[in-house]
Amino acid sequence: MSLNVPMDPPFPLDLRPDDKTPLHRQVYVQIRAAILTGRVRSHSKLPASRQLARALGISRTTVTESYDQLISEGYLETRRGAGTFVSADIPDTLLGVGIEGQDTNILSQPSVNRTAPKSSLSTYAQRLLQATPTPQPTKDSHKNKLSFRYWQPDLSLFPTKQWQRLVNRHALSGDTRWMTYDADPMGYRPLREAITAYIGQVRAVRAHPDQILITQGTQQALGLIAQVLMNEGAAIALENPGYLSARKVFMAHGALPVHIPVDDEGLIVEALYQRTSAPIKLAYVTPSHQFPTGALMSLPRRIALLEWANQTNGWIIEDDYDSEFRYGGRPVPALQGLDPDQNVLYVGTFSKVMFPGLRLGYIVLPPALVEAFRRAKWVCDRQSSLLNQAALSDFITEGLLARHIRRMRSVYAQRREVLVGALQQLSPIEISGDPAGLHLMAKLPVAAIGLSDKQLMERAAESSVSLFSVAAYDYLSRHSDQPQRTLPGRDYQGHFIFGFGGLTASDITTAIERLAPLFSP
């Protein structure tokens, strides 16, 4: 249903009461479009709000709200005793710009597929366009598709009622400090104290609450590190294969990535001493569960890496993204806890142990860097959500986090066991890495069945299964012309990442059964 009403000067208003766009917004947009396209000229008188409301069959308040918005933006002006007119001061250069000849119906939307001229973008923006793809929603939501996407925990098992209770406790307490700008940029003090106690106990991290900086997850943590510790052209060592999102952050800030191969013991430290156009001063590592291979960095490698940082005055970024979930042997202490010289920036997150939408993480900073990061965080966004920080503090101190992790560790261990068993029945395979985290790497005999990695993923998609090739994370193999491979790297063709956190045991079994025909003789 639409309401089409002529005006003087005549132009149509096509209102759609059944559309989700509010009526006052529809009136505003269409009058504004009529002005900008020249259909209503400067000095033209518009109908009185009561008259227009009666003609449209809507409330006068709706029309008044639309007129008020147009007046505040300078499109209309009121003249005492005369009525409402199109402003005399609208620049001719605006008339027809960007909308001339276009349908100005309220349902029409401007194109969002435009790209600003390269010359008008900052160097940072140009690097963003080169280093990062356009963010897209997850494409694995088809009801019959089973995805081995590696990052997803099982959200259905999170204690949402307990979490909501904690959020409500602070939201409804009458204390409005969580609604203000008055927080320390480093974060909510009780949460920093809770995190200090937690990581000291479960990860052997040595820290004081004053060293904890609360961030909007790992990505913001890495962005702040790049801002504070990197100049444009600075060399940073990255694991190969490695976490692509970290690479994109550093590349967007102008880093020179130096891709260091990993093996079954983690990063090959001796490669850090290779000659590069700029000395390596930063090394990004995932030592407790290397992504994507799952390798656990050995103690000799850890010591060698710390020695490298001490000898070169370098910094180590330790991304400890899912080490809470270990399924065999004793917990592995964090690299940071072995560092006597405080050259390690320890990055933690609650995305895996709780839920990604929480958007809370933290950095354990060397004392020498605290003040610089405090100011960088303040300039970036002042503070992370205080309400969520307060709820998370209680979630930790009341033992709910530890209880949830214990429960999920048992669940994920069983799912990993189901996945390994199903893969071994599928075909002779090679499982790599430590039994930990929410994903594993497996080598499938793609060559034996005459398929490439890409072809296998396409065939799997036809069976409603999403697979992810490790080769996509192997920069050196994809760019064989790069002169950085001073040590032999592993060939990752035929290796795939299997994330099992977000799949039930039944889902895992079904997904592998769907793949089975691809490997049948």
Mean confidence (pLDDT) of the chain: 87
Please tell me which residue, 63 or 4, carries the higher pLDDT value.
63
Average pLDDT over residues 228-242: 95
Average pLDDT over residues 74-96: 77
| Residue 256 pLDDT class (50, 70, 90 cuts) | very high
pLDDT at 231: 92
Task: Name, in order, each residue with C-beta under 8 angstroms of 93's C-beta and a sequence gap of 6 or more.
Answer: none
pLDDT at 237: 96
pLDDT at 160: 97
pLDDT at 36: 84
Angle, CA 318 vertex, CA 315 and CA 323 arms, to 5°:
170
Please tell me which residue, 483 or 354, carries the higher pLDDT value.
354
pLDDT at 13: 84
Please tell me which residue, 139 or 376, carries the higher pLDDT value.
376
Q: Is 85 helix (H, G, I), strand (E, B) or coil?
A: strand
Measured CA to CA, the distance from residue 225 to residue 495 in angstroms comes to 31
Q: Is the pLDDT of residue 75 over 80?
A: yes
The percentage of the chain sitting over the pLDDT mark of 90, rounded to a whole number, equals 61
Average pLDDT over residues 229-249: 94
Please tell me which residue, 150 or 430, carries the higher pLDDT value.
430
Nearest to 205 by CA among 307, 326, 323: 323
pLDDT at 177: 84
pLDDT at 108: 40
Average pLDDT over residues 96-115: 44
Q: What is the 3-state secondary structure (H, E, C) of 190-246?
A: HHHHHHHHHHHHHCCCCCCHHHEEEECHHHHHHHHHHHHHCCCCCEEEEEECCCHHH
Residue 117's CB is within 10 A of a number of other CB atoms, namely: 6
Average pLDDT over residues 324-341: 90
Please tell me which residue, 48 or 344, carries the higher pLDDT value.
344
Please tell me which residue, 40 or 503, carries the higher pLDDT value.
503
pLDDT at 34: 85
pLDDT at 106: 36
Measured CA to CA, the distance from residue 373 to residue 221 in angstroms comes to 10
Digit-coded pLDDT (tens) for 409-424: 999 999 999 999 999 9
Please tell me which residue, 57 or 336, carries the higher pLDDT value.
336
pLDDT at 167: 96
Q: Is the pLDDT of residue 100 over 50?
A: no
Please give the C-alpha separations between residue 280 and each of 1, 187, 271, 298, 369, in angstroms, as whole numbers. Answer: 65, 31, 11, 22, 19
pLDDT at 102: 41
Digit-coded pLDDT (tens) for 447-474: 888 899 999 999 999 999 999 999 989 9
Which structure tokens are listed for 137? Answer: 């929603």
Please tell me which residue, 221 or 489, carries the higher pLDDT value.
221
Q: Is the pLDDT of residue 50 over 60?
A: yes
The model carries a pTM of 0.78
| Residue 104 pLDDT class (50, 70, 90 cuts) | very low
pLDDT at 221: 97
CB 35 within 8 A of CB 7: no
